[in-house]
Structure 1
Amino acid sequence: MSDIQIRPVTENDHAAWLPLWQAYLTFYKTELSDAVIASTWARFLDRSEPTNAALAWQDGKAVGMVHFIYHRSNWSIANACYLQDLLVAPEQRGTGVGRLLIEHVYKTAKANGCDKVHWLTHETNATAIQLYERIAERPGYIQFRKMI
């Protein structure tokens, strides 16, 4: 694997981020309105927002993205960090980019006072699950939700 650099997004990164975000949405068979996409991007750039994004770069090209959100927890004094979205470009999968993105979230969350990073994935995402089982614990909880 060539040198991969992980860094937070800047306002100049929109054109590099957007195709990765759209690929992520396609992977999960969902669509978002342009208004939601624009709001999400604006939140990443607003330092007062708890939501963050970083890109993995290789040879001047964005090859992966991660989004994460800091939030309160009733189980700890420290905040927690929810790793909401993670995507590695298909040609980079299996090269360690996903691990680097997750480790970036671990490091950033710890530096910002969090004591836990947690996330979800779909039960059919076997490739990702193989990585996640190597770098985190699987607590066994089942998600329930209702869109309101």
Structure 2
Amino acid sequence: MSDAAVRPATAGDAASIGQLLHDFNTEYDDPTPGPDKLAHRIEQLLAGGDTAVLLADCGTARPGGLAVLRFRPALWSEALECYLAELYVVPAMRGRGLGRALMNAAMEFARERGADYMDLGTAETDVAARSLYESLGFSNREGKPDGPLNYYYEREL
């Protein structure tokens, strides 16, 4: 079990968040605009109110992980929906329950904000993340044997 303190980030945490997001993308060979641009964007998103970031403080110089939450109005109810945009635990801090602590805090934070639903995406190959999400009650909605496979599309505008 983790003894990390999970807390909501403030604008003063933007540099740490930018570095964590940069490290996350670098670890998985995804493009990154760099920690400074990410920090600036996080400042903007936090100020807008539709984004929240939770940080796992582990008594180290920088947070051990983060969860980025995006809130949107629900179409089918008056509640909010919450999208888990990112969940990242620093490699040296893995295996200590930080991911679970961040997820539990994220779900509670989302409920307190008025969300009644949380969705997320993860890679098929990220077995550890999939196992965590499923252990927390998330259901895989794609590729069910009794239903059609859903596809996710995107494009630049």
TM range (shorter): 0.7 to 0.9
Q: Could you tell which deviates more after superposition, 48-57 or 27-36?
A: 27-36
- The alignment's TM-score, normalised by the length of structure 2, stands at 0.82
> After TM superposition, which residue ranges in structure 1, 4 or more long, deviate above 3 angstroms?
none
- Kindly indicate whether residue 46 of structure 2 is the aligned counterpart of residue 52 of structure 1: no
What is the deviation of 1:39?
A: 4.5
1:20 is matched with 20
Percent identical pairs in the alignment equals 29
> In 2 relative to 1, CA 140–25 (structure 1 residues): closer, same or farther, beyond 3 Å?
same
Residues in 2 aligned to 1:119 and 1:136: alpha-carbon distance in whole angstroms = 12
2:145 is matched with none
- Kindly indicate whether residue 81 of structure 2 is the aligned counterpart of residue 73 of structure 1: no
* Structure-to-structure mapping, 1:50-129, within 5 angstroms: 50-60=50-60, 61-129=62-130
- Return 5+ residue gaps in structure 1 as ranges: none
- Return 5+ residue gaps in structure 2 as ranges: 143-149
- The alignment's TM-score, normalised by the length of structure 1, stands at 0.87
Residues in 1 aligned to 2:72 and 2:85: alpha-carbon distance in whole angstroms = 12
2:137 is matched with 136
How many residue pairs were aligned? 147
> In 2 relative to 1, CA 126–62 (structure 1 residues): closer, same or farther, beyond 3 Å?
same
